Amino acid sequence: MSVNTVEINRQLNRFDGHEEVWLFGYGSLIWKVDFPYIERRPARIRGWTRRFWQGSHDHRGTPESPGRVATLIEEADAVCAGMAYRISPAVFDHLDMREKNGYLREVVSMEFADGDAVEGLIYVAGPLNAAFLGETTDADIARHIARAAGPSGLNRDYFQHLADALRELGEIDPHIIAIERELARIDSAKT
């Protein structure tokens, strides 16, 4: 599959005449809200885990030297915390461009703290997209993040904003904590 997924997502649609759609954010959509929304609520999805296995050729890296950003990987017993937004389907014009580097919209069930559950959409960059970097060690991921930069800034800033946003939500993500620990080792080795 091509890196640019804008047209694929526009063909998927999945709005079925809805005036409002729920969107689940698990990466930069938690902390970089550059789109209008009707409502915002912390949420969780089951069966998915957050991983820094996706390449970023357009924001936190370049085509020659991609950064690493979050995607979701299916995992039976996993629970992924993030932020849900109730939005107008028109917002997807902007989001499809923002998430164009390999991400496709998929339907997901999300749960709120009060027990309510809704169906909505997520952007997932699966292993068949051309920008997928795949699994490696936390140390390799941290080294990659520490050196990458792109038009939207340092890859490390993307990672740190996400780690901070999850802490503000009171969420513990072992993958994020492990990478953060490896980044701290890189920093201490420099001094």
Give the residues across from 41 on adjacent strands.
84
In the residue annotation, 99 being an active-site residue is answered as yes
- Encode burial over 12-39: b for 16+ CB neighbours within 10 A, e otherwise: beeeeeeeebbbbbbbbbbbbeebeeee
Q: How many Cβ atoms are within 10 Å of 11's Cβ, its own excluded?
A: 7
Q: Which entry of 99, 111, 168, 180 is annotated as an active-site residue? A: 99
Closest CA to 85 of 50, 27, 33: 33
Quickly tell me which residue has 């703290």 as its tokens.
113
**Both tokens assigned to 165:** 């946003």
Which residues are within 8 A (CB) of 104 and not within 5 positions of it... i.e. 6 or more apart?
5, 8, 9, 12, 123, 124, 125, 126, 129
Residues noted as catalytic: 99
